[in-house]
Amino acid sequence: MKFLLRLAWKNLSRYRKRTIITAAALAVGLGAYIFMDSWILGIEKESERNLVWYETSSARALDDGYWEQKDRLPLKYTIDEPEAVLGWLAGKKIPAAPRTVFGGELIMHKDPFLEDGSLTLRVLAIDPVKDDTVFRLKETIEAGRYLEPGEEKILIGAWLAADLGAEVGYPLTVVTRTRDGYYQTIDVEIAGIFNCPNPAINKGTVFIPLDTADRYLEMNGAVTEINLRLPEREDADALAAALESDLAGVAPGLDVKSWRDLAEDYLAFAGMKKSASNIILILVFIIAAVGISNTMIMAINERTKELGMMRALGMKDSEIRLAFLLEAGGIGFIGAVMGVVLGVVLSYWIVSRGVDMGGLIGDMDIGYRVHGLFRGAWHPEAMVTAFIFGIVLTVLVSFLSTGRALRRGIADSLRYS
C-alpha cells in the first residue's frame, strides 16, 4: 500500500501537465456547476421573497368560499367584520393588513394621454396605514407619493406607466361593478408610480385606498382578504393551519392560506424551471465527465506497456487498479479543490454584484418574480456535493478505463505502442 501511494504521488507530480489539464477540466465543470446553482438558487430565493413582500404576504385569511372562485375576483365572498379579526391578530402581535381585490377596466383619455384607450386589470384596495406593516410597496415609490386614506388617487407600476405614457397627476377612470353587481365608475388621479421588484405587480396591478373602494363598491366595511406577516423562519403552512383553527372562534368560516398555497401556480412554474435548470447542470457535469474521461483514458492508454510490465512482475490486477485509482483520486481531489475555489470566487461575484438582466429581458415576463439585478445565493451543500462528485467521477472513470486496460492480455500490453 505504501508503495502504491508513493507511485500514485510520483505519477501525479511527474505528469504535472496531464494532472493539471485533467484537474482543470474537472475544476471548470465543478466551478460552472457551483456558479449556476448559486445563481439559480439566488433567483429562486429572491423570487420567493418578492412574492411574499409584494404579492401574497406570508399568509392570508379569506372567506371559505372565496378560494374556489378566486380567478373571478368575486366581491360576494368577503370578511364582513374585518375589525374583529384585525383586533384578534393585533392581540397576537401578528401584523395584518386588509385588502379588497376586484377587477376593473382602466380608461385613459387622449390628453393628457397620447390617445384614448382602456385595459383590464386587477385593482387592489389597500389600507394606506396598515398595508406597509405587511407589504413593502411603499418603499418602491419612485415618483409622486404613497396613498392616503379616503382620497381618490391611484398608484400604478412603472412598467404600466411607461406603456401608457402616464405621469403623476394624470387622471384615470376605473370602471367596475359594485358588490351587488351594478356598474360603477371611479375617477382617480395618479398619486404615485412604484417600481416594484416583483414584475407581476409592476405591470398589471394598480392600488387605490381601501376606504375609497369601500365607498364606491358599497362594501359596508367588508374586505376580500386580510394579509398577515408571519416570522420569516417559521413554517408558514403550519402557522397558517394553526391560525385558521384559532380564528374559527373569532370569525367563523375563514380559510387561512399560506404563501405556498397562494403562490401554487408560481411554485409549479418554478418547479418546472428547476427541472430545466437541473438538465443544464447535468449537461455541465456530462461535459466535465467527458473531458475527464478523455484525458484519463489517454493517460491510462499511454501507460498500457507499464501496466503490462507491472502485471508481468507479479502485481495483481487489484493492486494495479488500486494504484491507478489512488492516482485518479489525487487528480480528482486537486480538481475538486480547484473547482470549489473557482465556484466560490464566481459565486462571490454573483452573490455580491449580481448581473443586471434588465437591459436583456426588459419588461418580458420570465416567470420569476425578479427583474433587473439577478443575484446568486450561497449554497454550501452544492459545494460539498460538487467536491465529492468530482472525486467520485474521476475515480469511477479511472476504474472503468483501468478495467478496460486490464482486460487486455499481459503479452498484448507489453507489445502495445
Partner 1 sequence: MITLAKVSKNYRIGEIMVQALVDVSLEAEQNEFLSIAGPSGSGKTTLLNLIGCIDRPDSGEIFIDWQAVSARNKKELALFRREKLGFVFQTFNLIPVLTAYENVSFVLSLLDIREPEIKARSMAMLREVGLEGKEDVLPGRLSGGQQQRVAIARALVKSPRIVLADEPTANLDSKTGEDILKLMERLNKKHNTMFIFSTHDPMVMDYAHRLVSLHDGRIVSDERRTK
Least distance to partner 1, CB of residue 392, Å = 25
Least distance to partner 1, CB of residue 49, Å = 55
> Between residues 92 and 404, which has the closer beta carbon with respect to partner 1?
404
> Between residues 283 and 298, which has the closer beta carbon with respect to partner 1?
298
Least distance to partner 1, CB of residue 315, Å = 6
The one among 3, 80, 139, 149 contacting partner 1 by CB under 8 A: 3
- Which cell is 49 given? 421573497
The residues in 370-409 that bind partner 1, with binding defined as CB under 8 A, are: 409
Least distance to partner 1, CB of residue 394, Å = 19
Binding mask 317-356 for partner 1 (x = CB under 8 A): x-x-------------------------------------
> Between residues 76 and 415, which has the closer beta carbon with respect to partner 1?
415
The size of the interface with partner 1 (CB under 8 A), counted in residues, is: 25
Residue 189 binds partner 1 (CB under 8 A): no
Residue 73 binds partner 1 (CB under 8 A): no
Binding mask 11-30 for partner 1 (x = CB under 8 A): x-xxx---------------
Binding mask 295-324 for partner 1 (x = CB under 8 A): ----------xx--xxxxxxxxx-x-----
Secondary structure, 3-state, the chain: CHHHHHHHHHHHHHCHHHHHHHHHHHHHHHHHHHHHHHHHHHHHHHHHHHHHHHHHCCEEEEECCCHHHHHHCCCCCCECCHHHHHHHHHHCCCCEEEEEEEEEEEEECECCECCCEEEEEEEEEECCCCHHHCCCHHHHEEEECCCCCCCCEEEEEHHHHHHHCCCCCCEEEEEEECCCCCEEEEEEEEEEEECCCCHHHHHHEEEEEHHHHHHHHCCCCCECEEEECCCCCCCHHHHHHHHHHHHCCCCCCEEEEEHHHHCHHHHHHHHHHHHHHHHHHHHHHHHHHHHHHHHHHHHHHCCHHHHHHHHHCCCCHHHHHHHHHHHHHHHHHHHHHHHHHHHHHHHHHHHHCCEECHHHHCCCCCCCCCCCEECCCCCHHHHHHHHHHHHHHHHHHHHHHHHHHHHCCHHHHHHCC
Least distance to partner 1, CB of residue 410, Å = 4
Least distance to partner 1, CB of residue 390, Å = 24
Residue 7 binds partner 1 (CB under 8 A): yes
Least distance to partner 1, CB of residue 3, Å = 4
> Between residues 47 and 402, which has the closer beta carbon with respect to partner 1?
402
Least distance to partner 1, CB of residue 302, Å = 11
Question: Which residues are at the interface with partner 1 (CB under 8 A)?
Answer: 2-3, 6-7, 10-11, 13-15, 305-306, 309-317, 319, 409-411, 414
